[in-house]
């Protein structure tokens, strides 16, 4: 599946994430049901999420767009692969980009930053996010590739 074809066929049903995301993962194209995290400069909830069975889901992390601390690094990305996550999208920064690029995981983020986050247990999981000009809800379906990210209320063929 690719995002351009989906937009051509299902334009009225799609929301396009309007963020300048870069590809960092070893998989450029990925899709799945959405799970969300909202947290600012604390990746405790990201750690919790990727430690659970991913079942092919995509984790969408709203890090508030912060580029001062990385919400995902190689250890959490490895855990996501081990547990069957399809991808992670970060409205913020990641680190360990070279290692993440070797993993069978889709990863899109705004940028990289070598600084890790604090681990204070802050943030929320499976909440509605408003990022990139769209609403992203837990249970939505997301498809990502080199052309962008599209979101629908349910899986599309």
Q: Please enumerate, by residue number, every residue annotated as part of a binding site for Mg(2+).
A: 96
Binding-site entries for substrate: 73-76, 95
Compute the distance between CA of residue 53 and CA of residue 95 in angstroms, rounded to an integer.
23
Strand ranges in the chain using DSSP code E only, listed in sequence order: 15-16, 22-23, 30-38, 58-62, 70-72, 87-94, 106-112, 124-125, 129-131, 134-136, 141-145, 148-152
Tokens for 144? 């990502």
Compute the distance between CA of residue 99 and CA of residue 44 in angstroms, rounded to an integer.
21
> Three-state DSSP class for 80?
helix
Binding-site entries: 73-76, 95-96
Continuous segment of H or E residues that includes residue 85: none
Q: What is the 8-class DSSP label of residue 120? A: S
């Amino acid at each position: 599946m690719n995002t351009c074809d989906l937009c051509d066929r299902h334009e009225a049903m799609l929301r396009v994430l309007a963020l300048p995301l870069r590809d960092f993962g070893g998989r450029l194209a990925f899709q799945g049901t959405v799970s969300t995290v909202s947290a600012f400069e604390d990746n405790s909830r990201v750690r919790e999420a990727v430690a659970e069975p991913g079942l092919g889901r995509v984790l969408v992390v709203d890090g508030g767009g912060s580029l001062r601390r990385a919400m995902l690094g190689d250890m959490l990305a490895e855990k996501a692969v081990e547990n069957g996550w399809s991808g992670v999208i970060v409205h913020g920064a990641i680190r360990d980009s070279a290692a993440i690029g070797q993993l069978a995981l889709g990863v899109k983020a705004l940028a990289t930053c070598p600084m890790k986050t604090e681990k204070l247990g802050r943030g929320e999981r499976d909440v509605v996010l408003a990022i990139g000009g769209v609403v992203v809800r837990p249970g939505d379906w997301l498809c990502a590739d080199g052309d962008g990210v599209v979101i629908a209320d349910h899986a599309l063929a």
